[in-house]
Amino acid sequence: MTRIFTLFALVTLSICLFSLNLNAQHTYVNNGNNSNYNLNNGDSLYISTGTFTGKINSFSQGAKITVAAGATFRPDKFSNPRGTLVVYGTAKFNEDLKTNSNFTLINYGTTWATDDVELNGNSQIWTNNFGGQFKFDDGITINNNNTIINRGTITSSGTITLNSGASFTNNYATTVTGNLVTNGSSFTNEALFQTTGSITFNSGSTVDNNCRMIAGTGFTNNSNAVNNDGLIWSKAANGNGNITNSGTITNGATAKIKAVNFTNWGTIKGAGYFYFTGSTTNTGTVGVSGNTTDTLKIYDVSRSNNNRIFDQQWGTVRPNAVYRAFAAPDTINNFAGCSVELLSNIPLPVKWNYFTVSVASSTPALNWSADQDPGTTFEVERSYNGTSFSAISNIEAKNNQSVYNYTDAQVNTQAAVVYYRIKAVEPDGNTKYSETRTVKFSNKAGVTIQAVPNPFTSQFSINYQTTEKATITIRVYSLNGQLQLTKNAAVSNGYNSIAVTEASSLLKGMYLVQISNGSTMVATEKLMKQ
């Protein structure tokens, strides 16, 4: 009887072990071949080198594929993906890319789709990080409550369509050879978004523009929730430069809208500037009734009747809408509300810990920290136009040293803006650039700025010297672009010290502090909290 029980126990244990083995999590490493995989919850596939050309027959939620830097993921089949794909190298899809619920894409390299792209199902988040690139050769459609967050570069050779519940946030640069259409979705632009075709916001969409939005062949709004705090520009070069509003547009105090022709069937309110050079028609409502400090400043360069603002004025124009001549809006430079990624000109990710530039007695002091290989040389580069850089010093990296500094005593202080960056030349000849930093001198801008102490432990102060009274805005961002705090401060002629006590609530780490005066970005610096 004992033998029978022992045999039964052994058989039962064997069955359990076999069952556990069937459900075990697998870690696969592929060095570039055409192997096929079925990836279940908990499984992972690492493309370490070469080019993967096999089939992903299944990719369940909870599974993960990672593409290493220098490697290429080019699957022959990518069926109904629901797992997480992390790309440091290149991921290229030569057939329709139609993803399903909970699929997550995290891109640091290049993700390229040569055919149709659709985000189906629910709860998908695609994040294109600093230095990353999304390329969509046939455009992209985002359905349901799926999301794309862009902190790098997106180029789309087809139309981008956002359907009901979808969301799109642009924090760096998106260029569309086609149209943008939003249908009951959420669209946020914090940087540069431009199309060679048209931009259409349909009913139910929520739109926030804080930087530059450019339509190549016209702009149409049918939404009642368009908030503009940057620039909306309908270009004349590729079409007629038309803006047609049948919804509601709320303009910020420094925001600008520029077009050739303007037709309003809906409502325009808020403040800011409207610049038109062609035919203008208002059959809706411009301005608000009652008392307000907002003023809509409208300039129709070619208006036909000096007794009214618009050429055809059949609708309602409230008293806070005024005709005022002003120069054509600046369509090149960025607004203060643009993302920290764009304003700081953050390039491809490198092994930099930080890079700061401060000014004392009109002399820029550069400080940086980087992890480097022995034999690396740091070239300090300076520019007076932001595009043409010249090397002004070479500094040899030292073993076990990560912090370096340089003082530029030869800088031309008569320049309005000076740009600095550090080029790291590694022993194998590869080069890696730091972020670009800017300095503005008091003889041009009437301002000198310093954030002290840096690093700080609890709070820091902005030392701000100016020749005029103003109200400045201090914004602190995390390095992933998230706004942490905002503080407004009144400054007067002379030396000002503004204590940012709110910084005591920040976690330890690196931050970017941005200082703006109205729509003008005055300075951006990196700070460390210890």
For residue 223, the Cα-to-chain-centroid distance in whole angstroms is 24
For residue 8, the Cα-to-chain-centroid distance in whole angstroms is 64
Contact residues for 165 (Cβ-Cβ < 8 A; gap 6+): 143, 144, 145, 146, 184, 185
Class of domain 446-530: mainly beta
Q: What is the DSSP string of 282-310?
A: E-SEES-SS--S--EEEEETT-S-TTSSS
Residue 87 has what pLDDT? 92
Residue 22 has what pLDDT? 44
Residue 361 has what pLDDT? 65
Please give the Cα distance from 335 to 327 (Å, whole number).
17
**234-270 burial, b if ≥16 CB within 10 A, otherwise e?**
bbbeebebbbbbbbbbbbbebbbbbbbbbbbbbbbbb
Helix (H) or strand (E) holding 17: helix 2-22
**Farthest-apart Cα atoms in the chain, separation:** 111
Residues of the chain with pLDDT under 70: 1-24, 238-239, 334, 336, 340-341, 343-351, 360-362, 372-374, 400, 413-414, 416, 428, 441-450, 479-481, 519-524
Q: What is the DSSP string of 456-498?
A: BSS-EEEEEEESS-EEEEEEEEETTS-EEEEEEEEE-SEEEEE
Neighbours of 60 (CB within 10 A): 16
Please give the Cα distance from 174 to 150 (Å, whole number).
8
Please give the Cα distance from 481 to 127 (Å, whole number).
13
Contact residues for 479 (Cβ-Cβ < 8 A; gap 6+): 509, 510, 511, 512
**Fold designation for 345-440:** Immunoglobulin-like (2.60.40)
Contact residues for 354 (Cβ-Cβ < 8 A; gap 6+): 367, 368, 369, 510, 526, 528
C-alpha distances in Å from residue 122, one per residue of 80, 115, 292:
13, 21, 43
Structure tokens at 463: 């030392």
Is 455 in a helix, a strand, or coil? coil
Handedness of CA 403, 449, 526, 333 (dihedral sign): negative
The backbone torsions φ and ψ at residue 117, rounded to the nearest 5 degrees and listed phi first, read: -125, 130
Structure tokens at 518: 């109205």
**94-113 burial, b if ≥16 CB within 10 A, otherwise e?**
eeebbbbbbbbbbbbbbbbb
Please give the Cα distance from 431 to 436 (Å, whole number).
15
Residue 10 has what pLDDT? 47
Contact 499, 461 (CB under 8 A): yes
Contact 299, 276 (CB under 8 A): yes
**pLDDT digit string (tens) for 170-222?**
998 999 999 999 999 999 999 999 999 999 999 999 999 999 999 999 999 99
Q: Tell me the pairing of strands 417-425 and 437-440.
A: antiparallel
Contact 366, 407 (CB under 8 A): yes
Is 445 in a helix, a strand, or coil? helix
Helix (H) or strand (E) holding 20: helix 2-22
Structure tokens at 301: 């360069």
Please give the Cα distance from 155 to 311 (Å, whole number).
38
Contact 412, 418 (CB under 8 A): yes
Contact 287, 270 (CB under 8 A): no
Gyration radius from the chain CA atoms: 28
Residue 387 has what pLDDT? 74
Contact residues for 278 (Cβ-Cβ < 8 A; gap 6+): 240, 241, 259, 260, 261, 262, 302
Going by the DSSP 8-state scheme, the letter that residue 503 receives in this structure is: G
Closest CA to 202 of 234, 255, 241, 162: 162
Please give the Cα distance from 148 to 126 (Å, whole number).
5
